[in-house]
């Protein structure tokens, strides 16, 4: 059991119905943030940096969204369903945009291939977490 | 002219059609992040912190979303319309959730009143930026 | 009075002896974060991006340090003196490194000149806040 | 080999002499950020939240410093030694402060024990990375 999973299990108000999907999503978000930050820096170090401008931008966008989303869903005590949905949607979109751009460069740059795969994992994890959110949750909270 | 506006004007690929809405939105996001971080800390310092748990959580959620959104829309060279829309929607929702919770405490706590107003300004700024985004932009980019 | 100053004044445990230096430092940190994020993106849009790699990296480093520092010193209820000192030192150093790199490009790129000036303001604000911290604070807290 | 290690190895300008210490430090920083964010939220959910105010504050400080530090040292192409040192020092201090506070609550709250251990690992990883930085590096770079 990772330190993160152990941590989430010790939370006094952890979610009961979709704990695993959320735990995976948090791990995927923080991993993707870190990998996107590194991919941006690796792109900056490539000789043909001029062809990687858009990749660097989307790396940075994706890193910021993943970081904010990972933090938000780590605060699991009383999730605000409408906010979780909008945030997970935005994060999935950031991962999608970044993965598509990285895919264009993956044959030439190994770091873009690794980053694309991390973005795809994170997009899937966000969509899984979205699907497992209790339906009608927005109402049931109040 | 603020340093931020001057900075945005010096960008070689700044948006031409909705520059003012974006500049206002960036300023509102960074202001709201900062004010939400402070409101969370002020709530933590209140004697009746037990009644402010949900306010602190939404302060932190809103700060993280505003920070990520402010950074994303500061990268204005080649905005990715679907990503901008999803992110501005998520930020507007975070501001809405936080403003509603702060409103419950504003009579007792001045910092919650100030935070509520900042969140409302930021939500409006996000919605204005959303409205002024070129329609069909998601397609026109490719 | 700005929304931020009003907010800080409403905090139940605000510092009494060096309030103005801290308020200025918070504002400088968030401004510098935003301006560094924009300078990185503007550099990425320049034709000669290859000459600006180091500038982009230091912009991103400085943005991250300024963001974390601005948040830390916004939590002013019970500052941890050793932590505040180390953080303000790191932020001042990030601003120094970024300003020096931006200075090399300021004749060619207006955004680098504006960013250099913002970094210099933020470095000064950090050093002022450091100087006005109560001496021996690390001990007096316990 | 983790995705992160694989990513770092694909970077065209990775450090040769202290690669492992840096890779471990990046992983420790992102893990600690995530765990501190969760500990803050778990503390907020405890009945006796009033006794955990300082713990929540230091959790948030530590999360912000770890996040910024993890990002900075992920940009490994051409590290700025003075900046890396100051940042790693600040992060180690944040981990120290948070670990000491969490230790006071670890008998009562499992999440504080887990968080304390994560902070201690991250502090050690920062100090290891500091020790393995090339001495005199600040000068040799120019």
What's chain B's average pLDDT?
Answer: 91
CA–CA min distance A79, chain C (Å): 23
- Whole-number percent of chain B with pLDDT over 90: 75
CA–CA min distance B80, chain D (Å): 23
Residue D6 lies in a domain: no
Q: How far apart are CA C97 and CA C57, in angstroms?
A: 10
Q: Please enumerate residues of B whose Cβ is less than 8 A from a Cβ of D.
A: 40-41, 44-45, 49-50, 53, 56-57, 60
H or E element: which one contains B22? helix B19-45
CA–CA min distance D44, chain B (Å): 6
- The domain total for chain B is 1
Interacting residues of D104 by C-beta distance below 8 A, sequence separation 6+: D55, D112
Q: Compare all CA atoms of chain C with the CA of A57 and give the residue at the minimum distance.
A: C41
Q: Is a pLDDT exceeding 80 seen at residue D135? A: no
Residue D127 lies in a domain: yes
Residue D9 lies in a domain: no
- Of the candidates D58, D86, D97, the beta carbon closest to that of C89 is on D86
pLDDT for B16 equals 64
- Of the candidates D8, D44, D63, the beta carbon closest to that of A77 is on D44
Q: How far apart are CA A98 and CA A119, in angstroms?
A: 7
- Subunits close to B (at least 3 CB pairs below 8 A): A, C, D
Where is pLDDT greater, at D61 or A8? D61
- Quote the Cα angle for A40-A44-A46, to 5°: 120
pLDDT for B85 equals 96
Residue D123 lies in a domain: yes
Instruction: List pLDDT tens digits, range C84-111.
Output: 999 999 999 999 999 999 999 999 999 9
pLDDT-based confidence at A142, cuts 50/70/90? Answer: very low
Domain that holds residue D131: 17-136
Q: How far apart are CA A101 and CA A85, in angstroms?
A: 24
Where is pLDDT greater, at A136 or B64? B64
- Quote the Cα angle for B129-B135-B140, to 5°: 120
Q: Are D30 and A34 in contact (CB under 8 A)?
A: yes
Handedness of CA A112, A117, A118, A122 (dihedral sign): positive
Q: Compare all CA atoms of chain C with the CA of A54 and give the residue at the minimum distance.
A: C44
Disruptive mutation site among B5, B6, B7, B45 for chain C (greatest number of C CBs within 10 Å): B7
Around Cβ C10, how many Cβ atoms within 10 Å? 18
H or E element: which one contains D17? none
Residue D109 lies in a domain: yes
Interacting residues of B120 by C-beta distance below 8 A, sequence separation 6+: B95, B99
CA–CA min distance B110, chain A (Å): 24
Residue C105 lies in a domain: yes
Q: Are A44 and C44 in contact (CB under 8 A)?
A: no
Instruction: List pLDDT tens digits, range D3-39.
Output: 888 888 888 887 666 788 999 999 999 999 999 999 9
pLDDT-based confidence at C140, cuts 50/70/90? Answer: very low
Residue C38 lies in a domain: yes
- Of the candidates C11, C46, C118, the beta carbon closest to that of B42 is on C11
Residue D12 lies in a domain: no
What's chain D's average pLDDT?
Answer: 91
C77–B45 CB contact, under 8 Å: yes
Instruction: List pLDDT tens digits, range C14-71.
Output: 766 678 899 999 999 999 999 999 999 999 999 999 999 999 999 999 999 999 999 9
pLDDT-based confidence at A15, cuts 50/70/90? Answer: low
A80–B68 CB contact, under 8 Å: no
Cβ-Cβ contacts under 8 Å, D56 against chain B: 44, 56
Q: Is a pLDDT exceeding 50 seen at residue B140? A: no
Q: Is a pLDDT exceeding 70 seen at residue D66? A: yes
Give the CATH number of the domain where residue C110 resides.
Answer: 1.20.1270.360
Q: Are A123 and A99 in contact (CB under 8 A)?
A: yes
């Amino acid at each position: 059991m990772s330190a993160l999973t152990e941590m989430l299990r010790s939370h006094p108000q952890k979610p009961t119905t979709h704990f695993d999907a959320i735990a995976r999503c948090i791990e995927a978000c923080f991993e993707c943030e870190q990998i996107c930050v590194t991919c941006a820096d690796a792109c900056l170090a490539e000789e043909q940096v001029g062809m990687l401008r858009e990749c660097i931008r989307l790396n940075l966008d994706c890193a910021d969204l993943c970081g904010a989303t990972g933090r938000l869903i780590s605060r699991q005590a009383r999730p605000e369903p409408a906010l979780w949905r909008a945030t997970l949607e935005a994060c999935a979109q950031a991962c999608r945009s970044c993965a598509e751009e990285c895919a264009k460069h993956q044959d030439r740059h190994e770091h873009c291939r690794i980053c694309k795969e991390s973005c795809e994992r994170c997009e899937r994890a966000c969509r899984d977490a979205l699907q497992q959110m209790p339906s009608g949750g927005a109402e049931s909270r109040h």
